[in-house]
Chains A and B, each alone.
Chain A
């Protein structure tokens, strides 16, 4: 049985199924992180004292990480654009770079976590660190999830390119939309946690 509009666009809605699906998924993700950001605001406005992020956290490392993650978003778009132009080898290079940048992001984040733990700063220490670790931890899980998808598209998943290039290109586009969202969350996290 064939499900219609798995790779071709439905004319009256203008999207294929997975694209609508990922946008809906991202809407729910907005609500998830929205819930947590609201929790942050709620706790901060209700707190007697609240530290400035920069007193505790490492801004140079986080700035580096911001650059790393934005670059990975750029390479992700390039990967998709390469496929849309029919250049599979270029796609592999760009998606490979995206994955590598994801690894770099997690490595730097891990370093930051390690430095906090060394100084005896844990989630249980105070509410600021609790929300810091929860938000960045959940974001980190999202980065890992995105990397698993990207590695799959780079490896076993790329076999689809020969059989059904349109569908494979769509998959990369959908994975890209998710990856940009993860990037966007970080762009909100960085000022909220580090700069305010």
Chain B
């Protein structure tokens, strides 16, 4: 709050000491890197949980090799996983991947690092809030991880935490709720900061229609976080009251658990949670995908050496998408017995929201047409994003319509659908972003050969994991089954796919090793690069790599749109936004 007294230097090159520089930094670039490293570690952790689960699915009831005996007697006696533990892993895999991995990487890391640079700002509007947002996120992460050590383990009611189960679950669920309060607070602070920065701190000449698309994506994402998370916070308050103060917001009258009538006043409704939860969780889908689309758009414009095809459609579609995402939530709830009138409304809005999504994807695909494409590592990930997101999106359409959703609901088909959006979709785009902006953050490039091994290996493995899920789902195999469906007759024909998917998941882990090596070795040994190694036009490339504290030595002014590549008559094939020529 009193930053007028704390940082009062113009060019901003003074050393601030170890703690202020690396740990409790208020510099958006350092905070962005903190977010990046923390969220990448969480992604790895969440992935590890899934790899353990995949053993149980491939070999139900057999002892887990190597790590089985370290999981604890309460979780996996003799290395054989208990169903309760499987539920914890499933719930925490989802929670960690979404709230601690992909969103903090897409928004906290890339948004923080890149957005102020792209708009020509010296930092975020509220640097102290920015620091606080990271540390509150960190506290949320610690709470979530620490909950594994509680009696009864971590939350085990799924990442959706549906009551009444979650109301009567072990204490890990309370930790989950407290962890969510931290994460919601963090994203609230972050989103306010992002919006104010974009609106207030744009450099002279940076009008809204000259913003790089990545910044637009962050702006809409921030509004979604700002307005969609509070209803979940409200729901979390109510669930916390149910669990701690004995209220019955989500407990219906006469609820029977294990043959006993639950001692509670009753009168509540489990559906209330579902409404409040999905009011957040549907916009959350766009929080997961919009930053990814922003990254892909920047990389495609840069590597095709031509402007995005119809930047304006991209922007208006994104705004419309953001608005519509608030009125589609109940398409997650068709099997709750909702009336056909309400169902019709949500089916219509869901079909409408698919239009801007398709427009965005079409713009990105058409942008490739006629370009002289450079197949750099970031570009390969960005290109792969397009069909992967396409598969994820198209397989979502049958889930948006009640007649087809009802048989598919809660099957592996749903798991396949949203993983195509988030894993080879968002996460591929995030990898693209890491390869693309790494030179800006470190002054060095990541190795291309290792990058391509990482790309091809990941692409093949990830499709081998998720494509069979559609087959299993169409055969009717339910999600969240401890044995992967082994005890169901209708699952027998597709059961062998479980092993295929598991082997692919473990192989995917092996193909992340080149990335991890590449990331850490390149920080010290990567090929040195100049300020603008990709010949890009946006403002983050107009300053040194890494940029100094305060970002720009001289004030920047903006003269043109974000992606002026191959302008006829220009001396070079790119015109930076700050180039008055």
Interface residues of A (CB under 8 A from B): 1-6, 10, 13, 15-18, 20-21, 24-25, 27-29, 31-36, 38-39, 42-43, 46-48, 122-127, 130-131, 133-134, 138, 160, 163-164, 167
Contact = CB atoms under 8 A, between A and B. Distances in A.
A35 B231 contact: yes
B234 interface: yes
Contacts of A130: 241, 245, 247-249, 265
Contacts of B199: 13, 20
Interface string B240-281: 010001111100000000000000110111011001100100
Interface residues of B, number: 53
A134 B276 contact: no
A5 B203 CA distance: 12
A48 B252 CA distance: 12
A42 B196 CA distance: 34
Nearest to A33: B234
B564 interface: no
B567 interface: no
B122 interface: yes
B-side interface mostly:
helix
Contacts of A133: 241, 245
Given A31-B231, A124-B245, A127-B247, A43 B127 contact: no
A36 B10 CA distance: 46
Interface stretch (B75-83, B222-230, B535-543): B222-230
B200 A1 contact: no
Nearest to A128: B267
B494 interface: no
Contacts of B228: 31
B126 A36 contact: no
Interface of B: 2-4, 7-10, 12, 122-127, 188, 191-193, 195-196, 199-201, 226-235, 237-238, 241, 245-249, 264-265, 267-269, 271-272, 275-276, 279, 549-550
Nearest to B268: A127
Contact of A34 (B2, B123, B231, B245): B231
15 contacts: A2-B10, A3-B124, A3-B201, A5-B125, A6-B3, A20-B196, A21-B196, A25-B192, A28-B230, A31-B227, A33-B234, A124-B264, A125-B265, A130-B247, A160-B2
Contacts of B237: 36, 134, 138
Contact of A127 (B2, B8, B267): B267
A28 B268 contact: no
Contacts of A48: 267
Contacts of B269: 42-43, 46
Contacts of B123: 1, 3
A142 B228 CA distance: 20
Contacts, number: 147
Contacts of B238: 36, 39, 134
Nearest to B27: A1
Given A21-B125, A35-B276, A167-B4, A127 B235 contact: no
Given A130-B241, A130-B248, A2 B122 contact: yes
Contacts of A126: 265, 267
Most chain B beta-carbon contacts within 10 A, residue among A42, A138, A163: A42
A127 B248 CA distance: 6
B230 A35 contact: yes
B192 A43 contact: no
A16 B227 CA distance: 22
B247 A123 contact: yes
* CB-based closest 6 A-B pairs: A35-B234, A124-B246, A35-B231, A130-B247, A32-B230, A31-B230
A133 B264 CA distance: 16
Contacts of B10: 1-2
A6 B275 CA distance: 39
A122 B264 CA distance: 12
A16 B199 CA distance: 10
A38 B235 CA distance: 11
Contacts of A20: 195-196, 199-200
Given A1-B9, A122-B245, 17 more contacts: A1-B122, A3-B122, A4-B201, A6-B4, A17-B201, A25-B192, A27-B226, A28-B227, A28-B229, A39-B235, A46-B269, A124-B265, A130-B249, A133-B245, A134-B247, A164-B4, A167-B4
